[in-house]
Amino acid sequence: MAAARPTEPFGHRFGDQGLLAQALTHRSAGAPHNERLEFLGDALLDLIIAEALYQRWPRADEGAMTRARAELVRESTLARIARGLELGPRLMLGPGEMKSGGHRRDSILSDALEAVIAAIHLDAGFDACRQAVLAWFRADLDGLEIAKVGKDAKTRLQEWLQARQRPLPVYELLGESGDDHAKTFGVRCSVSEPQVSAEGEGASRRAAEQQAAEAVLAALDKVG
């Protein structure tokens, strides 16, 4: 099993290292694992993001804020943030999950990130938890526009290309890995004008396509 390292990787210094270790322990590695923490972290994350949107968007209606929250707390977003925090290598997984690359799977990463949120809350209180979470989500919150809320990455990429009368993107399945009940899909998204491509990974082909499309959009933003 890979051991959790007692460092400060998440913007919080844990007083109780046991909480951090539990948050990073998948059920495949035995008890105590992180499922109860995940339950609490999910609720805390919803509250923190809802409060942030309420404060940032004083004129937005309930529907817009609901769609924005759903976009921010969806599995692929949490998994991307978890990768940025290098959470995967710190996970404690059972032999089967380690062999199948569980530390790279969106579902495991997103669940573990929620568990870390709960662990910070239990270790130091809500204010410390909110501070850490808002730091992780700052770029996503800053980049979110009301007009774009509710449109997924594939739709936004298609609209970007159509507005410039350019060919539509091509999605290529690169492969699948993992057991039937917990597969990971790899997809490449390519556009020809300009020539840009990016790869995505997810628990479904659609999720992988969305991640790849998001990466292509980010690249297109840079080339103009």
**Catalytic residues, which ones?**
42, 114
Question: Which residues define the annotated binding site?
Answer: 38, 111, 114
Helices and strands (H and E) in the chain: how many: 9, 3
Chain mean position to CA 87: 11
Helix (H) or strand (E) holding 175: strand 170-177
> Strand 170-177 and strand 195-202: pairing?
unpaired
Rounded-to-integer distance, Cα 170 and Cα 86, Å: 30
CA-to-CA distance for 8 and 215, rounded, in angstroms? 28
DSSP-assigned letter for residue 186 = E
C-beta of residue 155 within 8 angstroms of C-beta of residue 71: no
Q: Going by C-beta distance under 8 Å and a sequence separation of 6 or more, which residues neighbour residue 35?
A: 27, 111, 115
The answer to whether 106 touches 201, Cβ cutoff 8 Å, is yes
Binding residues for Mg(2+): 38, 111, 114
Residue 172 near residue 185, CB atoms below 8 Å: no
